[in-house]
Homo-oligomer: A and B are copies of this chain.
Amino acid sequence: MSTSARGSHTPSVTMRDVAEVAGVSVATVSHVVNDKPGARIGEDARRRVQEAVASLGYRPNALAKTLSQGTSRFIGLVADQIATTPFAGQIIHGAQDEAWKHGYVLLVANTDGNDEAEAEAIAMMLEHQVHGVLYSTWYHREVVVPEALHATDTVLVGCFAAEGGLPAVVPDEEQGGRTATEELLAAGHRRIAFINTTTPSPAQTGRLAGYRSALEGAGVEFDDALVFPASPEQGGGYATTPRIVASGATAVFCHNDRVAMGLYDGLREQGLRIPEDVAVIGFDNQDVIAAHLRPPLSTVALPHYELGAAGVRILLGIDADTGSEPRLIVCPPILRQSV
């Protein structure tokens, strides 16, 4: 009984076919297939329809349904970089799961930061009658929202608009910085260095603010000499090591996991052990790095999955949009063995 011709070439069975086999009208088929609450359908007719559906292998055409209902089940996700970072995958994943949960489907487009590709992507989404779009960036920053997006509901994920006006959801950098520092404090450290990025960004200011606030909360005086600017790379962490060691810090909060990776190398060269001689905590939770360093790195996670999920919740009106301020998503600590 195997009709093994490839599906797209097989004429598909329609509601009309089901109606004929079941001996009812298409309206009736529609009602039972969609289990419409208002509709009273006789037990008998209902059963015949169900049998016909099963025997014919009927599958509703979602596109036709959308057309006649005037309301689509698509959510668009336009991302500047699906590729370059492991993170973007998590955003997609979170958005997809949440969309799915509510009967929506994700349409994804990558723009590579190219304006033309972006315009095309948005046009394509609008032509597909998306319910709305998630505009996402892979690192937390300010963006200028493309004009075309004003033609549909849009929420910003991992970024925020200069002019405001659009709902946005971003990681809570300050809370993250505070959490990281508090972990160090809780382990008994008082002289805590902070290797901060030299790149101006919400991460730069937010994490620093969190660091200061945690210190203050613990009654430890902030010492400007303990914050070290460095490029947010392995090399930055490595290069900063001598000064860290000279500072007498017993613990260091690194702007991100790559910096921590460099610090590991530097510390090891000095014969210093982690965490016995100096404790270190990172930020980002870049899995491949953090989990595989020796010892495994304690860090604070960027909540990419949650960002994607929260984005669709706001888009669908499930979560209230937070007005002109972006909604902040907490960055949870991931404790391993470096503190």
Contacts and interface: CB of A to CB of B under 8 A. Distances in A.
Given A8-B153, A108-B106, A127 B60 contact: yes
A182 to B, nearest CB: 26
A296 to B, nearest CB: 9
Contacts of A10: 151
Interface stretch (A63-71, A192-200, A247-255): A63-71
A6 interface: yes
Interface stretch (A84-92, A168-176, A323-331): A84-92
A62 B289 contact: no
B64 A151 contact: no
A82 to B, nearest CB: 5
Q: Which of A88, A151, A234, A289 has the most CB of B within 10 A?
A: A151
A130 B61 CA distance: 11
Nearest to A292: B234
A64 B67 contact: yes
A107 interface: yes
A83 interface: yes
A288 B153 contact: no
Interface residues of A, number: 62
B86 A82 contact: no
A322 interface: no
B83 A89 contact: yes
A41 to B, nearest CB: 22
12 contacts: A7-B153, A8-B152, A63-B72, A63-B128, A85-B89, A86-B86, A86-B89, A89-B92, A92-B110, A96-B108, A100-B109, A268-B268
Interface of A: 4, 6-8, 10, 57, 59-64, 66-67, 72, 82-83, 85-86, 88-90, 92-93, 96-97, 100, 105-110, 120, 123-124, 126-132, 150-153, 233-234, 238, 258, 261-262, 265, 268, 286, 288-289, 292-294, 305
**A-B residue pairs, 10 tightest by C-beta:** A86-B86, A7-B152, A89-B89, A7-B151, A83-B93, A62-B127, A234-B292, A82-B93, A288-B288, A62-B128
